[in-house]
Structure 1
Amino acid sequence: RQTSKEALLEFWTQAERKTGVKINYKERVEDITRSGDGFIVKTNRGTYPTRSVLLAIGRRGTPRKLGVPGEEMSKVVYRLIDPEQYKGQHVLVVGGGDSALEAAASIAETDSGGGVVLSYRGAEFDRAKARNRDRVQAAAKTGRLQVMMKSNVKKVEAESVSIEHEGEMKQVRNDAIIVSAGGVLPSEFLKRVGISVETKYGTV
């Protein structure tokens, strides 16, 4: 059974309200050290003594960045929150997985009026689900979405972005960029806090 992001977010929001669990948003764990029979958890906001630590950080880790000039601009983000906020804007989505295809299709389906470009370095969307590939194909047929396969972002500027597409450099008008290129595994963090990591066939 497929669940939309909106439905999943609503489920967790209700769970937070019902249980009363305290969640510290925008707080990043930086280190975990032993202290007697417990641990000291250090974050970007402070430290917490605790008897036990449960790690539920997933395998995605921190968002993978493009590593190009101009990426530090505020118009570059690493996840889609609300497609409606991009109405009328020229949007670039980078990536070839389900998150990238969902973001590009969702924005295109709002009839933004600006134009949506999906850039992917690969030759085909072999990692994405069929339903997301179908959504992208449908949006492309209407002209609301431009798909650039075998392409790489080279530079981000205030009103445009430079993309190398099949050996040719192109300047594309742009107001916002959503990078959905996966994440960097938290292997170093896990090793630092004393958790052994074993990699087999490219997976952890």
Structure 2
Amino acid sequence: MKNKFDVLIIGAGPIGIACALECKKRGWSYCVIEKGALTNSLFNYPKNMTFFSTSEKLEIDDIPFISNNPKPNRDEALEYYRRVVTSNELNIKLYEKVLSINKTEGIFNISTSKSNYTSQRVIIATGFYDIPNLIGVPGEELPKVTHYYKEAHNYALQNVIVVGASNSSVDAALEIWRKGGHVTMVVRGDNIGERVKYWVRPDIMNRIKEGSIKAYFNSEITKIDVNTVNIKTPYGSEILDNDYVVALTGYLPDFEFLKNSNITLSTDGKSIPNYNPETMESNIPGLYLAGVICGGTETHKWFIENSRIHAKLIATHIETKEKTI
């Protein structure tokens, strides 16, 4: 029957692709549904981004990932995962958003923006890059504020505030400064993040030390206006001239989607979804979680390199359950 599958996978990122490969190897009927482009999160990464990991740690299903340098960049990763999909002829539907998942009499009914599907099992591998972790201050909705960074050219000669001190914030601050932007960093903590790439951290600290990039530590934005930004510092409040705010304060999984799918979340403030780490099965039998979505608000916990194993764990558990039926 059309649109009826053994396994339906939500999300065509690296982990969703890995799940599809496991299904294909076992001869299961499957379909991957993705609301955006193939590897949509990677596609929306900054154009010049370099991964922290080496290429072999980003490989899936032991398919070699050859890059020009030990640490691949965004474009190389996009090409690698695209070739994995096309060479294996994986069944993926793009630009189709999953609206709801409901289970009735042991079968999952999945409604999307384009169609309806039924499946015996569902894997959610949707990542966390679509919902920005907002600052929550007046003016955050202004057009000059963005929570995503693509490239530096449009910030040349502009007064730019970069919020945060993570890898993405540091990369953006350095790139914008090198393209002629006047960069100020506003950081809630007392230093640049410890998880910043080891070859980049000395660079940003030296730029701050020499005064090329201004940094306010233990500080936060309190208000954003068209031409200025108010910040609170340990030494009092300041008003800075400003053209753009690049607020790279992190992203969150779609918790509402998980809750609407009847997956329970922890109540400790981390909103970690309920799943068995040995099988990746959630509190709903037959509904699995894979990839970074498993970390709740702890989005630094899971990456491509340490969550690739989720695909095999899920496939092995499905096989085991089938043998016991």
- Partner of 1:39 in structure 2? 109
Tell me the alpha carbon deviations over residues 49-89 of structure 1, each in whole angstroms, 9 at most, x when there is no partner.
Answer: 12344422124561100111111111111111111121111
Task: Report the CA distance shift for 1:189/1:139 in structure 2 as closer, same or farther (over 3 A).
Answer: same
- Of 145, 148, 161, the match for 2:216: 148
Match of 1:104 in 2: 173
Correspondent of 2:250 among 182, 194, 201: 182
User: More deviation in 30-39 or 170-179?
Assistant: 30-39
The two structures, once aligned, show a CA RMSD in angstroms of 3.0
Unmatched 5+ residue regions in structure 2? 1-53, 55-70, 273-294, 296-325
Q: Provide the C-alpha distance between the structure 2 equivalents of 1:67 and 1:106, rounded to a whole number of angstroms.
A: 26
Shift of 1:142: 5.2
CA offsets, 1:12-65, max 9 Å, x none?
5666787695521xx7544333467442334xxx35212344422124561100
What residue is the counterpart of 2:30 in the other structure?
none
Q: Which has the higher strand share?
A: 1
Partner Cα distance (1:138, 1:184) in 2: 31
Aligned length: 197
C-alpha separation between the residues in 2 aligned to 1:13 and 1:108?
Answer: 33
1:82 to 145, 151, 164: 151
Structure-1 separation of matches of 2:207 and 2:82: 31
Correspondence for 1:67: 136
**Could you tell me how far apart the structure 2 residues matched to 1:159 and 1:201 are?**
35
Tell me, in whole angstroms, the C-alpha distance in 1 between the residues paired with 2:234 and 2:154: 31
Q: For 1:8 and 1:14, how far apart are their aligned partners in 2?
A: 10
> 1:161: which partner in 2?
229
Inter-CA distance 10–158: structure 2 relative to 1 (3 Å threshold)? farther
C-alpha distance in structure 1 between counterparts of 2:97 and 2:185, whole Å: 30
- Aligned counterparts of 2:80 and 2:183: Cα–Cα separation in 1: 30
TM-score, reference length from structure 1 = 0.79
Partner of 1:119: 186
Question: Amino acid of the residue matched to residue 88 of structure 1?
Answer: L
| Higher-Rg member (1/2) | 2
Q: 1:168 to 1:22 in 2, by over 3 A?
A: same
Q: Does 1:50 align with 2:120?
A: no
Structure 1, unaligned runs of 5 or more: none
Match in the other structure for 2:308: none
Tell me, in whole angstroms, the C-alpha distance in 2 between the residues paired with 1:135 and 1:13. Answer: 33
Does the C-alpha gap of structure 1 residues 159 and 81 become closer, same or farther in structure 2, counting only changes over 3 Å?
same
Go from structure 1 to structure 2 and tell me whether the alpha carbon gap of 1:33 and 1:201 turns closer, same or farther (over 3 Å shift): closer
Q: Which deviates the most, 14-23 or 148-157?
A: 14-23
Taking the aligned partners of 2:82 and 2:207, their CA distance within structure 1 comes to 31
The offset of 1:6, in angstroms, is 4.5
